[in-house]
Structures are given as structure tokens and as C-alpha cells.
Homo-oligomer: A and B are copies of this chain.
């Protein structure tokens, strides 16, 4: 239980906002804290949750994720394909997904800074720091393609 303190902090935040603390919410947050990766798909998350608490239903995981997102603890990052993934707020980052091999690179939140500055300046549009996947080819797949058509 490496992240007990972090979990308690999150639950405290939740409670302080008048939200209820339930088993499902506890387990989802714990799995996100314990995961090796900062982002997990709904599917992954459900598997992990289900392993630990088999009576928690898939629809509950969906509802819990929605709820925790609305409460501001989680953020959603749609990967443009397959199930949506979620991560804890504070682990802000973007993704670059290779359309060749499916690899996902995590990018620091600030890669987008030049773009968001321009959006505000030119359109008054306030970009959210979460939610972004850039598609393209990773170094390996790009090299492979260049071999084929040089």
C-alpha cells in the first residue's frame, strides 16, 4: 500500500466537497495511484477494480469515473480509438500515439504552451491542459516507412 497517504488525501478532498466516499470510488482511486502508468483505459481500470472487488459492476466504474472527473480529481484523455483513458489531475500530460505500432508517448503538459497562447490571443479560446492526443509515426515506424519509399 505504497500510496496510502495520497489516497487519504484524495478521499479527504472528495469528502470536503460534500461527495460520498464509497468502495467503488476508493478502489478506482487506489488503482490509479498504484498503476505503473499515469493513464489507464476504462477497460484496464475495470479489470483491476474487478480483480480486487469482483462485485463492482462495469457500469459503476463508468459512473465513478464520470463522477470523479466532475469532482475535479480525474481527467479524461480520449485516445481517438478504443476505450477512453483517465488519469489523476496533477499528472497532466499529453499523448503522441503512433498510428503504425500503437505506441503511446507521454508528453509534458507544456508542449502545447505555444499553441494555447496563440489560441487565446487569436480566438479568446481557453484550451484545457488535459485531453490531447497527437497522432503520427514514432521514430521506428517513420524510419521503416522511409526505407520503403525513400
B105 A111 Cβ-Cβ under 8 A: no
Nearest residue (CB) in B for A81 is B78
Taking the closest CB of chain B, its distance from the CB of A39, in whole angstroms, is 15
Taking the closest CB of chain B, its distance from the CB of A68, in whole angstroms, is 17
A99 B115 Cβ-Cβ under 8 A: no
- For this complex, 12 residue pairs linking A to B, each with C-beta atoms less than 8 Å apart, are A96-B125, A111-B119, A112-B115, A112-B134, A119-B134, A119-B136, A124-B138, A125-B137, A126-B142, A127-B136, A128-B135, A131-B134
Q: Which residues of B contact A118 (CB under 8 A)?
A: 111
Interface size class of A (residues with CB under 8 A): 20 to 34
B111 A138 Cβ-Cβ under 8 A: no
Chain A residues close to B by CB (< 8 Å): 78, 80-81, 96, 98-99, 105, 107, 111-112, 114-116, 118-119, 123-128, 130-132, 134-139, 142
A138 B114 Cβ-Cβ under 8 A: no
A125 B111 Cβ-Cβ under 8 A: no
Nearest residue (CB) in B for A118 is B111
Cross-chain contact of A124 among B130, B135, B139 (Cβ < 8 A)? B139
